[in-house]
Amino acid sequence: MDNQNVSKPSITVTPEQYKSLAQEFTPKPTVVKNVVRAFVVGGIICAIGQIFINLFVTLGLARLEASTAATATMIFLGALLTGLGIYDEIGKFGGAGSIVPVTGFANSIVAPAMEFKREGYVLGVGAKLFTVAGPVLVYGIATSIVVGVVYFFLH
């Protein structure tokens, strides 16, 4: 091959041309669209939670117990939808609106565990689930005990 016929590429771009090209190819911010989607998705999740509270009240539970049952139900649904791969799609669409409610908590615990499904449900998913949820549960239970003891002695 004759190296004399091959010339070195010469690209001369001025800083102004580079800035113009960079602005042309930079994605436009979608803040308003993301805020609206987060508001709608978060609102729908919270509305579903309120529907569960109202349902449990009509089934005879007191308002406080109905709220607790609805929270547990929403956590279960968040974990179930994460396991089925549906909650990830909701999160892609709704962004922060899917993270803020309690279902986002369930998703944040179950999603990392699902990555270890190939190692089995007990040693893979179960072990990873408690690895992620363990600190949350330990600090939550410890805090509730401390608050309960303080409340007991103050009253």
Q: Sign (positive/negative) of CA torsion 142, 135, 41, 80?
A: negative
Same domain, 97 and 152: no
Same domain, 65 and 87: yes
Same domain, 69 and 139: no
Same domain, 58 and 90: yes
Same domain, 42 and 82: yes
How deeply is 124 buried, as exposed, middle or buried, from its count of CB atoms within 10 A (0-12, 13-18, 19+)? Answer: middle
pLDDT of residue 126: 66
pLDDT of residue 2: 57
Same domain, 110 and 63: yes
**pLDDT tens digits, 63-101:** 999 999 999 999 889 888 988 889 989 999 998 888 877
Same domain, 38 and 106: yes
pLDDT of residue 99: 84
- Within the chain, where are the H helices? 15-25, 31-58, 63-83, 86-94, 102-114, 127-154
Distance between CA atoms of residues 79 and 85, nearest Å: 10
Q: What is the pTM of this model?
A: 0.64
* Number of structural domains the chain divides into: 2
Same domain, 91 and 140: no
Distance between CA atoms of residues 101 and 49, nearest Å: 9
Looking at residue 124, the DSSP 8-state letter turns out to be I
Section 6-10 average pLDDT: 68
Lowest mean pLDDT among 26-30, 97-101, 112-116: 112-116
**pLDDT tens digits, 117-134:** 677 766 676 666 666 666
pLDDT of residue 29: 79
Percent of the chain with pLDDT over 70: 79
pLDDT of residue 132: 64
How deeply is 19 buried, as exposed, middle or buried, from its count of CB atoms within 10 A (0-12, 13-18, 19+)? Answer: exposed
Q: Could you tell me the residue range of the domain that residue 39 belongs to?
A: 32-114
Q: Determine, yes or no, domain membership for 19.
A: no
